[in-house]
Structure 1
């Protein structure tokens, strides 16, 4: 398992925050973006090398009704 960068952690935290605020479980968000039900949980737990890519973030933003920019620092 590789090292996680500061920006990757920021994005994971922002996605988690918005997911929880929307009342979605990890599995529901995973399926909503057409991925394995365990994907979001794997990303959030940092126990695997699973990470969000730009396409994931675009789909997540659509599902959560926000802008992809909301996942990045100013």
Structure 2
């Protein structure tokens, strides 16, 4: 089952911030003790794999941003 539209937008925002901070999928995987391939699945639109709220909170802490930075500005 593919991601919903809002899930895909969240993943895109996380990826944009990740790349701006020059972090790799391997870096993100190490935060959660998962494989880089799993982060690759999260960053694939057709995969149901998704960050949890706890994951997003940890990413916001490590990226020094708000969880809101990962969310769409307007409802979809």
Please report the TM-score for the alignment, with normalisation by the length of structure 2.
Answer: 0.82
CA distance in 2 between counterparts of 1:3 and 1:13 reads 14
Give aligned pairs, total: 73
Residue of structure 1 in register with 2:71 after alignment: 72
**Is the Cα contact below 8 Å between 1:33 and 1:60 reproduced in 2?**
no
Structure 1 segments unaligned to the other structure (5+ residues): none
* Secondary structure class of the residue paired with 1:12: helix
Residue of structure 1 in register with 2:8 after alignment: 9
Flag as ranges the 4+ runs of structure 1 deviating above 4 A.
Answer: none
Deviations 1:35-74 (A, max 9, x none): 3332221111245431111111001111111111100112
Residue of structure 2 in register with 1:45 after alignment: 44
Cα RMSD between the aligned structures?
1.5
* Larger RCO, structure (CA 8 Å, separation 6 or more): 2
Please report the TM-score for the alignment, with normalisation by the length of structure 1.
Answer: 0.84
